[in-house]
Homo-oligomer: A and B are copies of this chain.
Amino acid sequence: MVFPISFSFFLSDSPTMGRKKLTMRRIENPTSRQLTYTKRKEGIIKKAGELAVLCDTDVALIMFAPSGRLASFASNGRIEDILLRFVDRPDELRGGPINHEEELEEKLDKLTRKQRESQEKMRYYEPNVEKINSALEAGVYQQFLTTAIQRIQTSKAKLLGNQLGHERTENVEVQAATMQMDDAVSLTGHSAEGNHARMRSNMDENQSGSSSAAGPHLSLGFIESQKMWNKTWNI
């Protein structure tokens, strides 16, 4: 634009004024912070959805609000699917500046082969435990499996008729169980198919602690992003 100056003052008839330039640091006022969080959360979820549709991509988003609340989004329905795709990646491919092209092709070959093999085993739950290369990964895996077991136990309890109901939880679970039967097939496997049809976002509260596997930063391929980050915020 040759003339970046706004001409709005010509047309303005409002006393409220527009936004100010935002400083990139934690918003100290709790009220404002919460408000901003709410607005931006919606914005980013929208962006994620758009990215998923426009580019035919699977996107997962998890946010822990300042209050401790959780909000998540998954373009393909269940965030677990996407998280697992992340977790399940062989270590070698997780990061690391891409070394040599030969290596790459080799790895791809290997993967393609494995993929073909695993196809036949798909009916069974056979996590590729053997592929685990780090304790960290193992921890994540274990968490997932534990969660899965808990779910199964819930289902089992339902099926057996026992109600291990926990307050409202009970109803929810029943509903889930029902749904689970009806939609099992239709929901299985197909990812975003050009539809922004399935998505979800939800919130709940608590600060409940949790297990967290901390560790050193295996900074792998973050340099590029870091660069962007720095540039943007002049760090």
Contacts and interface: CB of A to CB of B under 8 A. Distances in A.
Interface in A159-205: 159-160, 166, 168-169, 172-177, 179-181, 183-191, 193-205
Contacts of A82: 62, 64
**SS class, residues of chain A in contact with chain B:** helix
A1 interface: yes
Residue in A117, A140, A180 with the greatest tally of chain B CB atoms within 10 Å: A180
Interface in A49-108: 49-51, 53-66, 70, 72-74, 77-100, 102, 104-108
What is the interface residue range for chain A against chain B?
35 or more
A86 to B, nearest CB: 5
Given A57-B66, A198-B217, A132 B152 contact: yes
Contacts of A62: 58-61, 82-83, 85-86
Given A3-B11, A126-B211, 14 more contacts: A25-B53, A40-B50, A41-B51, A80-B212, A90-B208, A91-B150, A104-B205, A115-B122, A118-B209, A134-B173, A147-B213, A148-B213, A172-B218, A180-B217
Nearest to A61: B61
A17 interface: no
Contacts of A135: 156, 159-160, 173-174, 176-177, 180
Interface in A125-160: 125-136, 138-156, 159-160
A200 B148 contact: no
A218 B31 CA distance: 31
A211 B225 contact: no
Given A62-B82, A78-B96, A102 B197 contact: yes
